Structure 1
Amino acid sequence: MQITTPDIGVDQAVVAEILVKVGDSINIDDSIVLLESDKASVEVPSTSAGVVKSIAVSLGDSVAEGAVLIELEAEDATSKTVEPQTADAAQKTSENTPTELPDAEVMQELSAHQPQASSSAQSVDVQVPDIGVEKAIVGEILVAVGDTIAIDDSIVVVESDKATVEVPSTAAGVVESISIQVGDSVKEGVVILKVKTVGLVAPASVQAVKTESAPVQAAKTEPVVQATAASKGDVEVKVPDLGVDKAAVAEILVAVGDQVEKDQSIIVVESDKATVEVPSSTAGVIKAIHVTLGQNVSEGVALLTIEAEGQVAAAPTAAEAPKAPTQAKPQEAPKAAQQTNQPIQSNSVDKLSKEQNAANAKVYAGPAVRKLARELGVVLADVKASGPHARLIKEDLFSYVKARLTAPQAAPVAAAAAVSGLPKLPSFDAFGGVEEKVLTRLQQVSIPQLSLNNFIPQVTQFDAADITELEAWRNDLKANFKKEGISLTIMAFIIKAVAHLLKEEREFAGHLADDGKSVLLRNEIHMGIAVATPDGLTVPVLRNPDQKSIKEIAVELGVLGQKARDKKLSPKDLQGANFTISSLGAIGGTGFTPLVNWPQVAILGISPAAMQPVWNGEGFDPRLMLPLSLSYDHRVINGADAARFTNKLTKLLKDIRTLLI
């Protein structure tokens, strides 16, 4: 029996990898070759089961639709494994009696995990999911052949021009083979590795299959809950609301077996805005850690499991089962099985949205079609069915994939365009070579945000404020402040003066509307204060400085600065700023052009003050002059308005008493 190339949506493709060898025993839908074209990489599944007799292609061959790939010899009936027979029965059931499909799939799933049927363990392909870009480079492989992995364990790190992402496993078991290498360029749907699945369902579950529909559903869900629910009061600590879509795990502060207290820091995560320590939500002993260094996480992702102190959780009863967070509702369990044709626990790593899951649950398709869809990375709800009774068939999938491969590419997002305008670096080998120094995680994740400044027509207005009297007054006050443990810096006075001015010049603390036709004026002032840390610049936010005294501002400045250096800023400490001040302090320099931090429209730069001779009409007086640099978005603020703003600010700083008028 010959297996030929199906319609892959292009005229010709090149054989990039041969996934089987002569003598291998394969099942229907097992991937046999990997084909590559200038549009995509596609794994071709076998349309029959048997033993590979010969391979008709070689690496690098160019093949078209109908070209022979391999030749199969049918296996003896006695040598067939239990699983293909079960799958065939399930397929026939799905085609002839759609209403009985869930029961057939339950039988398949349960029988596949019987301890006495270990020979029926499946080899599951783990593929590249939708990572938000057309292709990415394999930066690191985190597992090896023979490793035992669980669902959601990170297996590879892929890198693109947007981000570094750790890809989680969608199956649990033992790694049989790895199909990629470091440096490979991969896309959605490319096979990463093969996993031999591990049995997870107890033998007692098989008896439940023989009962009516409701007991079947209970049998499918209850064992899973028992496997995931803790018998000793286990609690999962999850990522809280970070204020950003995702952040990278920068440091893991605990280890398995450690005793932790409630609110003790357990994980350090970094985003393009700040570094944040995540506290434990309960006290107890660390049982498992679910994340690795560098992994991107978002709100709700499980970080670790803690055996909570003084808690003993009873096994869930049948009445409690529907309330368990990891279990589907009983009436939805068959639909979930029909949708994925995998053990129920795979639902916990479903990457689809709630709307897509709801739509997929209504799709009528057999197990073989569902498996092929998973291998091709196709969402069933997006495919138009042409089979009897609106059943989705393989031809529908091939047509859908062909349409996607030939469709025009979508325009890149703004963040990608911001960094893609520069050509690749030339080679410096002929000029002494280079030494690579890796940027800190905070610097790396800041690049997309900083690149947005390329789209802002920025202008900088320079001025200088005479702060001679202000500095003298500060020196008179700071001794008493120091006794109270407060550091009184000139920044506290500057913040108070700027906050006062922003109440008059509201455009400087506003935002340009998306349509470019109006300015959104904020009702409150929340000022970002740039703080230098060993890992890079971070900008905590000082709330409502216009409503606070200089003493209160000085106290909060000290607290925010220390939290930034200790990596203890919370997400709320970094959100909502509508104006920023960046100071070089005593580092040096006479002026600089700070970058406007979108979506803000202005930023004030402060350089070190210096004594300068100032003409008084008759002679020169020594005055302490403070350089000011106001950068602004010229679409919102005119040059004359910026000059007037800095001029008003110099007058406020020259005589701070005018704030009282």
Structure 2
Amino acid sequence: MTEYVLKMPDVGEGVAEAEVVEWHVKPGDPVREDMVLAAVMTDKATIEIPSPVSGIVTWIAVEVGETVAVKAPLVRIETKGGEVAVSEVVKTEKKPVSTPAKSVDVKEAPVRSEVSAPAQKPLASPAVRRRALDAGIDLRQLAGSGPAGRITHEDIDAFNTSGPRLVAPAASAKKTAVEEIKITGLRRKIAEKMALSVSRIPHITYVEEVDVSDLEELRTTMNAGRKAEQPKLTILPFLMLAVVKTVAEQPAMNATFDDAAGVISRFGAVHIGIATQTPAGLVVPVVRHSEARGIWDCAAELARVADAARNGSAQREELSGSTITISSLGALGGIASTPVINHPEVAIIGVNKIAIRPVWDGNQFVPRKIMNLSSSFDHRVVDGWDAARFIQRIKALLETPALIFIES
């Protein structure tokens, strides 16, 4: 037998270390060549590390949530070969990684059952556990037929045939379980970014309502006449063009602030970040050079980078470098919100849901489509007056959407 040492690979781009966000194996587990051993995260990219050899895992260097330096030993595998080797193999797969709970072995519970099950850890042999993992079966769904309730291969066969065999808990049973979830990977980076933004930036939030009735009528007309290759327009591309037009008049909003150096950087390019919810958490894909795009181009690029962020295929440059950010929760947008600035930017525009409200036109109340904009600004470098003026200009453009398309 020979021990094979797999080191943390060099993933490039000046990365010196990575956080381990998931282990697919533990000491004693058999592995085969090209089987994924672990997933690590650098910035917002998730990288899967496969095994270069077949053998038995004998040692793991770090736990989930810990960081490992490039070139440092990551895992040892006992092989039958006659050579001792050190490997730095890496397979890149930018897909979201789920965060395992501390109190649950993620290998034992890849799928959560919505049926009540015993809380204790199921009894099963490593071979049965491996089979259940490969089949996507939560062993807690099974009632073992072996000694002391041990789950056997026959129980898995029965499960595949007829579903789980569970002993229902008493209706009055008290729930005392506590699930501790370790914050790792993208979720930890989101937490760190939010903490940095709130602790370093004194926010001022300004809320204004916008009558988007005419804009919605225009959007409906444009969608009805769009070509097959053109994406469906939402309200966001119109807002993006309104932001482009407004920051040309107020360049102080399209900026970042380096408070350590005391330097404000104002940008000619308008790289609009779009806060996007993904299965792994909140990320901000970027529509670069929005100032050079038309309405259909904005919509197409927005759809592309948002989809890439959701499916985990976005590149590093597509998730960084924004100069101003838009945050929208769509139909869940609520009446008002207090968006957190995307550090080190100085402004973020929050889009709330559209609702039909009665509006007095001078003679009577008429139904109009109203949407609030809830926007935050870095009060160290943006005065309240300027923040209000910025939003009022965007409001004017959205309420008279033809102005968006008129050259200044």
Matching residue of 1:575: 320
Written as runs of structure 1 = structure 2, the 5 A alignment for 1:55-70 is none
- 2:190 corresponds to 1:446: yes
- 2:319 corresponds to 1:548: no
Written as runs of structure 1 = structure 2, the 5 A alignment for 1:485-500 is 486-500=231-245
CA-CA distance at 1:441 after TM superposition: 2.9
Matching residue of 1:483: 228
In structure 2, do the counterparts of structure 1 residues 571 and 517 end up closer, same or farther at CA, with 3 Å as the change threshold?
A: closer
CA-CA distance at 1:480 after TM superposition: 4.1
CA-CA distance at 1:626 after TM superposition: 1.4
In structure 2, do the counterparts of structure 1 residues 266 and 151 end up closer, same or farther at CA, with 3 Å as the change threshold?
A: closer
* Range 435-444 or range 578-587, more displaced: 435-444
Distance (Å, rounded) in 2 between the aligned partners of 1:292 and 1:556: 39
Amino acid in the other structure paired with 1:595: V
Q: Are the equivalent residues in 2 in contact too, given 1:481–1:488 (CA < 8 A)? A: no
Larger radius of gyration: 1
In structure 2, do the counterparts of structure 1 residues 302 and 484 end up closer, same or farther at CA, with 3 Å as the change threshold?
A: farther
Q: Are the equivalent residues in 1 in contact too, given 2:190–2:282 (CA < 8 A)? A: no
CA-CA distance at 1:487 after TM superposition: 2.7
Amino acid in the other structure paired with 2:5: A
Matching residue of 2:311: 566
* SS of 2:345 mapped into structure 1: coil
CA-CA distance at 1:298 after TM superposition: 6.8
Q: Which has the higher contact order (CA 8 A, sep 6+)?
A: 2
Matching residue of 1:122: none
Distance (Å, rounded) in 2 between the aligned partners of 1:150 and 1:276: 22
Matching residue of 1:650: 395
Structure with greater proportional helix content: 1
CA-CA distance at 1:511 after TM superposition: 2.3
CA-CA distance at 1:293 after TM superposition: 7.8
Matching residue of 1:241: 13
CA-CA distance at 1:652 after TM superposition: 0.6
In structure 2, do the counterparts of structure 1 residues 569 and 466 end up closer, same or farther at CA, with 3 Å as the change threshold?
A: same
Q: Are the equivalent residues in 2 in contact too, given 1:512–1:599 (CA < 8 A)? A: yes
Distance (Å, rounded) in 2 between the aligned partners of 1:606 and 1:596: 14
CA-CA distance at 1:269 after TM superposition: 4.5
* SS of 2:381 mapped into structure 1: coil
CA-CA distance at 1:292 after TM superposition: 7.9
Distance (Å, rounded) in 2 between the aligned partners of 1:475 and 1:581: 22
Matching residue of 1:471: 216
* SS of 1:576 mapped into structure 2: coil
* SS of 2:331 mapped into structure 1: coil
How many residue pairs get matched? 299
Written as runs of structure 1 = structure 2, the 5 A alignment for 1:91-240 is 148=3, 150=5, 152=7, 238-240=10-12
In the superposition, the TM-score normalised over structure 2's length comes to 0.63
CA-CA distance at 1:573 after TM superposition: 0.9
Distance (Å, rounded) in 1 between the aligned partners of 2:260 and 2:13: 29
Amino acid in the other structure paired with 2:190: S
Matching residue of 1:257: 33
Q: Are the equivalent residues in 2 in contact too, given 1:239–1:302 (CA < 8 A)? A: no
Q: Are the equivalent residues in 1 in contact too, given 2:325–2:347 (CA < 8 A)? A: yes
Distance (Å, rounded) in 2 between the aligned partners of 1:505 and 1:246: 40
Distance (Å, rounded) in 1 between the aligned partners of 2:182 and 2:369: 41
User: What are structure 2's unaligned runs of at least 5 residues?
Assistant: 25-30, 76-84, 89-175
Amino acid in the other structure paired with 1:589: G
Written as runs of structure 1 = structure 2, the 5 A alignment for 1:316-355 is none
Distance (Å, rounded) in 1 between the aligned partners of 2:5 and 2:63: 17
Matching residue of 2:345: 600
Matching residue of 2:120: none
State the percentage of identical aligned residues: 32
In structure 2, do the counterparts of structure 1 residues 523 and 471 end up closer, same or farther at CA, with 3 Å as the change threshold?
A: same
* SS of 2:299 mapped into structure 1: helix
* SS of 1:150 mapped into structure 2: strand
Aligned partner (choices 527, 543, 547) of residue 272 of structure 2: 527
Distance (Å, rounded) in 2 between the aligned partners of 1:240 and 1:579: 28
Amino acid in the other structure paired with 1:456: I
Q: Are the equivalent residues in 2 in contact too, given 1:249–1:269 (CA < 8 A)? A: yes
User: What are structure 1's unaligned runs of at least 5 residues?
Assistant: 1-145, 154-236, 260-264, 305-344, 349-431
Distance (Å, rounded) in 2 between the aligned partners of 1:587 and 1:655: 25
Write the deviation string for residues 371-399 of structure 1: whole angstroms up to 9, x where unpaired.
xxxxxxxxxxxxxxxxxxxxxxxxxxxxx
CA-CA distance at 1:443 after TM superposition: 1.4
Write the deviation string for residues 565-610 of structure 1: whole angstroms up to 9, x where unpaired.
1111111111211111110101241010001121111111101111
